[in-house]
């Protein structure tokens, strides 16, 4: 289902009529298409957005927050550079759309004529892409203990099919997004691998078995399906997909983030069968530190770049590019070059890596990489104190590891062997991504600069647990000016508070500081003008 495309014609007509952005916007005529197009996929009942945005009342109630996060570029989330290459599901607002939201909020959020509302799209329930043909679920719930530790747990899920099934899409649906960090699916029909996994499961007192890095057994497909923060399910083109044999098993590896209270998860896997026979199976190529010409080592207090290469021996058609690193990640640049270096094929550029918004980045059409070309993947890491997401203060030497506080250089490519005409084959994917909050984040105040007696908005997000929050305003000498939050309880997710500055503030720089009961602290500068 492509939600965005369903509105393109409508938006174009309205723009041509001069009714969008040319007069005071109203919700039903101007704002609803923007919200339904970019927000509602995640912000609705049953999905992970922290509030529902499906009608006028819900949007108006959060209007100031929506203006704040869209003006700042925090929402909708999209990290790749759309000028470098075109990708499916691109999510960003135009300057005109941002201005329309701002004008609407400043005008008092007028509702307008309900007859002009384009109508809420028919979103599926229990899935982001429609009614699955088969739903497989973890055999029993897994309890992730509240010990503040991360966990990698593999769950054995029999496919239960009695005949070969051709799979067009795989969708992972965690039942508890507060702790689900990411999920990967390995596929095996090998009896020895199935027996080995069962033996590991029997030795572990919990459901499933602990396994860091991989599945601890050999699998025929190490990326049968995957989910990371920000990744939409991917629908493969006709005649392209995965095969699932009778007696096979899926090994679902779930990475659970740290929690300070017991949490339960029972993830499901939605499988969508192909409409046509599959003639080419999707394959996966993985680049890791073995593709580097130097050891993967990031010294403290340094910004380091790593350049990996992968030679392509035969023509391939790339479906998706999936870069992955952790909190020190700064940027990714991926491209392919011809043997004579006279031709360059752009693949993806992420100039400002955001660990919280990752994805399976697919191309609108299959991307042809000729045999003899070389794929280059350049990743930059910032291990200095200026990186606010650095897990160590002061910075420490970093190496490759599975924990969030370790670092990674991994990039997956999903592809099929090339056939003539692949460049014209379109890929279907969802336009939106799921939202997950993995780190505390303090957002810039708005407006900033501001003035005394003015109301300012301050946003922050909390990770996978409730917290007691303190938010205080200081002058440049460290003297407390205002205590805005005093150990007040907030649930996980994103929050926005509004506070009025004291009327006697002198012009200058002030600092507002957020601290949590778990020890997180962050400060930002607020400028007060005349």
pLDDT along the chain (530 residues), means of 10: 36 36 79 86 75 92 92 84 86 85 94 85 78 94 90 94 94 87 93 96 94 90 82 83 96 90 94 93 94 95 97 96 94 97 96 85 93 98 94 95 90 95 73 40 75 82 74 87 90 74 89 83 81
269's tokens: 């896997």
Q: Is 203 exposed, middle or buried (0-12, 13-18, 19+ CB in 10 A)?
A: exposed
Give the per-residue pLDDT at 187: 96
User: CB of 363 within 8 A of CB of 87?
Assistant: yes
Closest Cα to residue 109, out of 40, 53, 58, 60?
A: 60
- pLDDT (0 to 100) of residue 479: 86
Backbone angles phi, psi at 380, to 5 degrees: -115, 140
DSSP string, 92-152: ---HHHHHHHHHHHHTT-----GGG------PPSS-SSS--SEEEE-SS-EEE-SSS--EE
Which residues partner with 416 through β-bridges?
317
**Cβ contacts of residue 85 below 8 Å, gap of 6+?**
346, 347, 348, 349, 363
Cβ burial, residue 480 (10 Å; 0-12/13-18/19+):
exposed
Q: Residue 71: in which H helix or E strand, if any?
A: helix 63-71
Give the CA distances from residue 439 to residues 297, 321, 388, 528, in Å, rounded to whole numbers and listed in that order.
Answer: 24, 25, 11, 29
Token pair of 18, please?
Answer: 């001069």
To which H or E segment does residue 380 belong? Answer: strand 374-383
Which structural domains are found in the chain, ordered by start?
Answer: 5-116 (no CATH), 124-281 (2.60.120.310), 282-434 (2.60.120.230), 441-528 (2.60.40.1930)
| Residue 199: CB atoms within 10 Å | 11
Q: What is the pLDDT of residues 489-514, one digit of tens each?
A: 887 666 778 888 998 898 888 888 88
Per-residue model confidence (pLDDT) at position 521? 76
Looking at residue 23, what is its pLDDT? 74
Q: What is the torsion angle, in degrees rounded to the nearest 10, for the CA atoms of residue 460, residue 409, residue 352 and residue 359?
A: -70
Residue 65 to residue 56: CA distance in whole angstroms: 15
* Residue 256 burial (C-beta neighbours within 10 Å; 0-12, 13-18, 19+): buried
pLDDT digits (tens, 9 = 90+) for 389-435: 999 999 999 999 988 889 999 999 999 999 999 988 877 543 333 33
Predicted pLDDT at 2:
40
Tokens 């990290």 sit on residue: 79
pTM above 0.85, yes or no: no
State the Cα–Cα distance between residues 179 and 506, nearest whole angstrom: 44
Query: What's the confidence (pLDDT) of residue 522?
Result: 77
């Amino acid at each position: 289902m492509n939600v965005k495309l369903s509105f393109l014609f409508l938006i174009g007509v309205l723009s041509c009529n001069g009714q969008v952005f040319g007069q005071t916007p109203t919700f039903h005529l101007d704002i609803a298409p923007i919200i339904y197009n970019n927000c509602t996929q995640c912000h609705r009942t049953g999905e992970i957005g922290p509030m529902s945005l499906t009608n006028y009342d819900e949007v108006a109630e959060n209007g100031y927050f929506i203006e704040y996060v869209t003006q700042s570029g925090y929402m909708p989330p999209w990290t790749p550079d759309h000028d470098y290459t075109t990708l499916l599901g691109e999510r960003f607002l135009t300057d005109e759309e941002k201005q329309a939201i701002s004008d609407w909020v400043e005008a008092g959020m007028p509702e307008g004529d309900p007859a002009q509302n384009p109508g809420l799209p028919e979103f599926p329930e229990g899935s982001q892409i429609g009614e699955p043909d088969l739903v497989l679920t973890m055999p029993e719930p897994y309890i992730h203990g509240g010990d503040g530790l991360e966990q990698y747990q593999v769950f054995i899920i029999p496919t239960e099919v009695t005949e070969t099934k051709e799979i067009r899409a795989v969708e992972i649906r965690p039942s508890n997004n507060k702790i689900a960090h990411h999920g990967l699916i390995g596929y095996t029909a090998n009896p020895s691998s199935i027996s080995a996994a069962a033996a590991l499961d029997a030795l572990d007192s919990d459901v499933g078995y602990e396994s860091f890095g991989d599945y601890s057994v050999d699998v025929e497909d190490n990326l049968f399906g995957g989910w990371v923060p920000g990744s939409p399910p991917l629908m493969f083109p006709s005649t392209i997909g995965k095969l699932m044999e009778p007696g096979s098993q899926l090994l679902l590896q779930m990475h659970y983030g740290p929690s300070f209270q017991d949490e339960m998860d029972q993830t499901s896997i939605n499988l969508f069968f192909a409409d046509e026979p599959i003639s080419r199976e999707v394959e996966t190529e993985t680049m890791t530190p073995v593709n580097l010409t130097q050891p993967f080592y990031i010294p403290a207090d340094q910004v380091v770049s790593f350049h990996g290469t992968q030679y392509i021996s035969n023509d391939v058609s790339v479906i998706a590019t999936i870069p992955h690193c952790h909190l020190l990640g700064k940027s990714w640049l991926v491209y392919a070059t011809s043997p004579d270096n006279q031709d360059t094929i752009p693949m993806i550029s992420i100039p400002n890596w955001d660990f919280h918004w990752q994805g399976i980045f697919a191309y609108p059409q299959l991307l042809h990489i000729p045999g003899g070309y070389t794929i280059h993947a350049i990743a930059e890491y910032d291990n200095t104190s200026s990186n606010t997401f650095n897990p160590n203060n002061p910075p420490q030497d970093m190496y490759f590891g599975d924990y969030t506080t370790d670092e990674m250089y991994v990039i997956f490519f999903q592809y099929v062997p090339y056939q003539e005409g692949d460049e014209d084959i379109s890929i279907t994917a969802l336009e939106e991504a799921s939202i997950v909050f993995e780190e505390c984040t303090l957002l810039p105040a708005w407006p900033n600069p501001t003035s005394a007696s003015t109301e300012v908005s301050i946003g922050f997000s909390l990770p996978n647990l409730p917290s007691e929050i303190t938010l205080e305003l200081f002058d440049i000498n460290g003297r407390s000016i205002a205590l805005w939050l005093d150990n007040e309880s907030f649930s996980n997710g994103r929050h926005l508070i509004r506070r009025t500055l004291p009327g006697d503030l002198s012009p200058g720089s002030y600092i507002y500081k957020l601290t949590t009961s778990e020890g997180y602290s962050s400060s930002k500068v607020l400028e007060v003008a005349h």
